[in-house]
Amino acid sequence: TEAEYVNRPVSPYAATKRSGELISYTYHRLYDMPITNLRFFTVYGPRGRPDMAPYKFISRITRGEEIEQYGDGTTSRDYTYIDDIVDGVVRAIDRPYKYQIFNLGKGSGTKLNEFIGLVEKHVGKKARIKMMPPQPGDVPFTNADVSKARRLLGYSSNFPFDEGIMRTVAWFKEAFGENGERLNMAG
């Protein structure tokens, strides 16, 4: 939950997220600024970040390239489709509070093996997987407790992971070709 004690982060990424919340709280206290912090959980979708697993896996599997799987595939992430995040951001803007932190996510995790299977299904190709050891600082699962956002913002995730991956694959193929052949020309 948003009230969970998170002052001992396990990665630099987590430390920067918490630092931002602490800085914003300081501005709220010093200058009476209304501030809402939004915690996004593994956002993906069309035009997604190329360094994130959803984009990398879709791109590499589409082009028949090898993907790297860290760990045994049982790690779980709360993958959240971009349209759900945008909805949560608009709701937070429309409902200003003095100071709040909200989790925005799907509210349930998907195991890495399931994720790869969905990408294979929608790309129509089998993944070539290189097994890698777990990454240092990686947590075994993430799962957004969105009950506070539901209660105070009226937020709920509307896109099942399967549908989000299907839409993301469709966008990728439209943007870069059925086999990703236009990818190198785009950069």
Q: Note if 13 is an active site residue.
A: yes
C-alpha distances in Å from residue 131, one per residue of 30, 69, 140, 170: 50, 5, 16, 27
Selecting among 13, 25, 27, 97, the annotated active-site residue is 13
For residue 177 the two structure tokens come to 């070709």
Q: How many alpha carbons fall within 13 Å on the CB side of residue 114?
A: 11
C-alpha distances in Å from residue 127, one per residue of 69, 121, 152: 10, 10, 41
For residue 174 the two structure tokens come to 């439209």
Kindly list the catalytic residues.
Answer: 13
